[in-house]
Structure 1
Amino acid sequence: MNSITLTVNGVPCEARDVRPHTTLLNWLRDQGLTGSKEGCAEGECGACAVLVARPAEGGGTRLESVNSCLVLLAALNGGEVVTAEGLGTPGHLHPVQRELAVRGGSQCGYCTPGFVVSMAAEYYRQGRPADDFDIHALSGNLCRCTGYRPIVDAARALGSPAEEDLLTQRRSEAPPLPQPTHLQTPDGEFHRPTTLAEALDLLAAQPGAVLLAGGTDWGVDVNLRHSRAAITVALDGLPELQTLTWNPDHLEIGAGLTLSDIERRLAGRVPLLAEWLPLFASRLIRNSATLGGNLGTASPIGDSPPVLLALDARVVLVSASGEREVPLADYFTGYRRTVRRGDELIRAVGIPLPLAPLSGFYKIAKRRFDDISSVAVGIALDLDGEVVRSVRIGLGGVAATPIRAYATEEVLISQPWNERTVREAARVLRGEGTPLDDHRASAAYRAAMLEQALLKFYFQKPAQEVTA
C-alpha cells in the first residue's frame, strides 16, 4: 500500500493510496480541514498556508509557514503539520485569531486562515521580543477586501505566547526526522532518500528523474500545467545538503538549505546576499525555496544567479562517480539548460573569500516585493585607492541565461572610480545581453534599467564607504 504517516494538529495520521503528485493542500481538504484554500495554486496568495515543524538551530523545533499547494504530500512522510484549525476553535480562539476578530481583520474570510498561520509562525518565533512583530512575516498573504491596516494592527497587538501554550512547549522538543519513502503507482514513482549516497545511487539508475527540493517551481508545474514525472526524487531529507561552512578561502552553502535558513545563519555576514534575500518572493516561499532549486531550474529570470555571479560563485556537482566544481559563469549553457548531467545533483554553492568590500543588488520589477524580476543586477566591486581593482556584474532577465557583463567589467578594470568612468561603463552595460519584449517589460526598458542600475550603484555607494 502506498501510504505515509504524518502528524496533523497533534494527531498521528496515516495517508493511504498516496499518489506522487498529490499536494498537501488537496489531501488536507479531503480530510475536512478546509480552512486552507486554493487561491492561486502557485504560492502567491497565501490562502493555503500551514505550519510545518522543522529543526531549529541549537536544537528544538521551529514552526514555519509554507504554501501547502506547493508541497507534495509524499515529501512530508513522518512530518508534522499545523493548520488554522489546529491553532484554535470557535469556542477557544487562539490569540492570533482573537486579535484578527476584534480588530476587524477579516471580512470574506477566504484569506484569513493563511494570515492566521503566517502570523502564528512569527508569534512563536524563538527570541522574538514581545513588542517586536516582523510584519514582513506576513508577506505572500493577500487580502482583497479588508485591507491591511486592521491585519497589521492585530499583529502588533500580540505579545508573547504563554508558557503553557502547547505550541510554545513544542519549540523545546525535537522535531520529527525525515522518513525514507518509496511510492510506486500508475502515475509514477516517488523516492525520498535520507542519505546523499542513496540519492546518488537512485540518480545513477534513473538519470531522468525530477529532483524535488522546496517544490516552489515544480509545484507550480504540477498544479497549473498538470506536469507529471515518471520518477521524482525528493532531496529535502538529505542532511548533507543542509550545511553552511565558513572556510579560510571560501564559504560553502548547502544546496538544500532553504533561503530563510541561509538568511538566519549568515545574519548579514555576506552583505550582497543580505540585500537580495528579502526581495526574493515572499517569506512563505523563502521558507521552502533553496539555492539548489533556484539554480537547478536554470531560469533566466531567477534572482539568485545575478547575485552569485557577482560573488564569483562555483557550483559543486556530485554524482555516484565523484564530485566536480563548475564556475557559475560556465554553468548555464542555454535556455533552462546547464552542464549538470542527469546523474548529478547540486550539493553546494561555493563563494570565494574575502568578499568584495562594496556590493549591491538591483531588482527591477512591477512590485518592490514578491514579484518576478524584469531585470536583476548584482554588482561586487573592489577598489585599490580610487582605482577599480576588480569588479563583477551579474545580470538576469536580459538573455536566454543569466550572464556576466564582461564588456562592462573590462571598461571599469584599472580605471578611476569616478562619475565619468561609470557613465561610460553604464552605456556599455546598456548593450549587454539580448533583452526581449514581453509582458513584463520591453527590450528598450530593460536596456535602460541596466544603465541606471550601475549609475544608482555609483551614487548610492560612494567610494569613501570602501576606503574609509
Structure 2
Amino acid sequence: METQTIRFFHRGQVKEVSDAPITRTVLQYLREDARCTGTKEGCAEGDCGACTVVIGELQDGGDVEFKAVNACIQFLPTLDGKALITVEDLRQADGTLHPVQEAMVECHGSQCGFCTPGFVMSLWALYQQHNPGGEAPSRQTICDALTGNLCRCTGYRPIIDAGERMMALPAPTDGKLDPKQIADTLRNLKRGETFRYRAQGQDFFAPRTAAEFGAIKAAQPDIRILAGSTDVGLWVTKQFRELGSLLYVGQVEDLNQIAQRDGMIEIGAAVTLEKAYAALNAAHPELEELWKRFASLPIRNAGTLGGNIANGSPIGDSMPALIALGAEVVLQHGETRRTLPLEDLYLAYQKTAMQPGEFVAALRVPVAGPQHFRTYKLSKRFDEDISAVCAAFGITVQDGIVTEARIAFGGMAATPKRAAATEAALTGQPWNEATARAGMAALAQDYTPLTDMRATASYRSRGAANLLYRFWLETASEALPAAAVNVRAPGAGTIAIVTA
C-alpha cells in the first residue's frame, strides 16, 4: 500500500500536504503553515473554543454537512477528503462582511476579539442549517451551538443577539462558499480505497470498510485506534506522547451507520456523539439534558459514542445511562464479532475485556426502556464540564412493587459500575420513600468514591444518594412536578428556605 498525500478543500482550492507529522494538529497547520492566524490557540484541549473551525463532509445523499469542531485537537490527516472552513473564508470578495460577522458588529458582540473568530465559526455552522431571511434559530438553539465557546469580555447576551440577527441580514452573493460547489470538489476527492499517509516513519490508515479496518487491527494489534481525537488529541497537546501509527475509524462507512432492528438501536463505532444521542433521544427522551450537557457541540461533533465506550473512563457520561438501559457492546476481531453486556466490558481502571486485535464495532441499545428512567449529572458548571457524579436510574413498577431495577454511576468507582446492592434493596419492594431511603443507604455497599479536584468523597456519596431520592420524588405515585425538583425547569425559581 503506497503512501498518499492529504487532500482537502480550503480557501477555495484543494490543498495537498505530504510532509507533516501524522499528529500535527489542524490548528498548527493553519497558524504555522497556512498562515491563517484568525483561528486562535487558547487551551489546546478543546475547552475554550478559540480554535473553532468548521469541517464540511460529503453525505450519502450528495449534500455537504457542516459542523463546528476544535482545530487544536484534530489531527491533520483526518481532513483528507473534507472541506476546512475558517474565519478567513467568510469575508466576501468585495470586502463585505458575512452576515454572521456583520451581526456581531451590529450587536456589539466583540470586545478584545481573541475568542470572536471561534464564536463566528460556531454561528456560521448554525447559519448553514437555516435559510437566510427565514425563521431565526431559537435562543436556546443558539445557546446550544455556543456551548463550546468561552468569553469573558462582553458576556453572552450580545453574542446570542447576533445569532438571532444574522438570519435577517442579506445573504452572501459571491458564492465563495457555495455548498454545491464544495460538494462537487469533495466528490472528486473521495477515495474508494484505504487512505494511507506516512510521515516520519509513522502510518495513518483510514480504511473504508469494517473488514479492512479489522484486518489492519488484527495484523497490528497494538496500533492506536483514532476516532474523534477528543481524548487522544490531548495525549499529544498536553502530555506530549508519541502515539506511533494510527488507525482512523472516521472513514469506515459501514461503522458510520445507525439502524433499528430486533428491538435494538444499533449505533456504529464511527457515529458521532451528536448523531448517536439524537437517535437515542428519539427513543428515550429522558436523555435530552444529558445529551446537551455532554461536553460541548464541537466535541460531540467530533467524538464518537464508540470511542467514549472503548475509552472506559470512569467519568465517561455515556456509560451509566447506557448500562441502565441494558445496552450491549459489539466487539470485532478481523471479521468475527461477539456481543456482551456493556457493564461486562469494564474490568478495572482503563482496563477492558477486549482481546488483542479486538475493537468496538457498535453499540446496541434496547428501543423499549424501563418504565421509569432518568439520568442526572453533577458538575461545577452546567455546560461543558466533566462530571463529579453521573447517575442513571431505570426501574419497572407493577402493582406498586419494583419488579426490576438497573442503576449505574460514573465518577463513583474506577469504572462505570452498576449498583448491585442498591438494585437488590429496591427490587421486590413497594416503590415508596422507605424503599428509596433503603436504596440510598445501600449505595455505601456499592461505591467507595475518591476525593479529587472535582469533588470530595463525601460530596459524591451524599450527592449520589440525593439523586436517588430525587428520582423517587419524580417517579412516585404522587410525583412532584419538574419545577419542584429542577431549578432550570420552566416555572422553577421560587425556593422556600425554612430554618429552625
Q: TM-score, length-normalised on structure 1?
A: 0.94
- Offset of 1:254 from its aligned partner? 1.3
Alignment of 1:53-72 (within 5 A): 53-55=56-58, 59-72=62-75
Return the letter of the residue paired with 1:124: Q
Give CA deviations for 1:219-253 in whole Å, capped at 9, x if unaligned. Answer: 11111111122211001000111111112332211
Counterpart for residue 413 of structure 1 = 427
Runs of at least 5 residues in structure 1 that lack an aligned partner in the other structure: none
Structure 2 residue 386 is matched with structure 1 residue 372: yes
Match of 2:202 in 1: 188
Partner of 1:75: 78
Tell me whether 260-269 or 250-259 shows the greater mean CA deviation. 260-269
The 1:288–1:15 alpha-carbon spacing in structure 2 relative to 1, beyond 3 Å, is: same
CA distance in structure 1 between the aligned counterparts of 2:40 and 2:255, rounded to whole angstroms: 32
Q: How does 1:308-457 map to 2 (within 5 A)?
A: 308-457=322-471
1:168 shift after superposition = 7.6
What is the letter of the counterpart of residue 6 of structure 1?
A: F
Deviations 1:407-455 (A, max 9, x none): 0001111111111111111121244222011111111111001101101
d(CA) in 2 for partners of 1:462, 1:82: 50
Matched, 1:114 2:118: yes
Q: 2:14 aligns with which of 9, 12, 31?
A: 12
Alignment pair present for 1:162 and 2:197 = no
Q: CA deviation at 1:141?
A: 0.3
Between the aligned partners of 2:421 and 2:445, the Cα distance in structure 1 is 9
Q: How big is the shift at 1:208?
A: 0.3
Q: TM-score, normalised by structure 2?
A: 0.88
Cα distance between partner residues in 2 of 1:279 and 1:430: 27
Whichever residue aligns with residue 105 of structure 1, its letter is G
Mapped to 1, the partners of 2:299 and 2:256 lie a distance apart of: 17
Spell out the pairing of 1:151-230 with structure 2 (5 A cutoff): 151-159=159-167, 162=171, 166=175, 169-170=178-179, 173=183, 176=187, 179=191, 180-186=194-200, 188-230=202-244
One-letter amino acid matched to 2:129 = R
Q: Distance in 2 between matches of 1:258 and 1:36?
A: 24
Quick one: percent identity of the two aligned structures?
38
Residue in structure 1 matched with residue 26 of structure 2 by the alignment: 24
Residues 117/171 of structure 1: CA separation in 2 closer, same or farther (3 Å cut): farther
RMSD: 2.2
Aligned mates of 1:86, 1:163 — CA distance in 2: 12
Cα displacement (A) at 1:389: 1.6
Runs of 4+ in 1 over 4 A off after TM superposition: 55-59, 126-129, 171-178
1:27 positional shift: 0.6
User: For 1:284 and 1:367, how far apart are their aligned partners in 2?
Assistant: 17
Match of 2:498 in 1: none
Does residue 1:132 correspond to 2:137, yes or no? yes
1:76-105 deviations in whole A, cap 9, x for unaligned?
112111101111159210000011112211
SS at match of 2:277: helix
Give the conservation status (yes or no) of the 8 Å contact 1:272–1:307: no
Contact 2:130 2:137 in 1 (8 A): no
- The whole-number CA distance in structure 1 between the counterparts of 2:370 and 2:40 is 45
| Structure 2 residue identity aligned to 1:43 | G
Partner of 2:297: 283
- My pick for the range that moved more, 41-50 or 129-138, is 129-138
Q: Please, which runs of 5 or more residues in structure 2 have no aligned partner?
A: 480-500
Q: Structure 1 residues 457, 320: CA separation in 2 closer, same or farther (over 3 Å shift)?
A: same
Q: Is the alpha carbon distance of 1:36 and 1:194 closer, same or farther for their aligned partners in structure 2, counting shifts above 3 Å? A: same
- Which moved further from structure 2: 5-14 or 284-293? 5-14
Conservation of the 8 A alpha-carbon contact between 2:9 and 2:15: yes
Deviation at 1:275, TM superposition (A): 3.5
Tell me the number of residue pairs that the alignment of Structure 1 and Structure 2 aligns.
Answer: 465
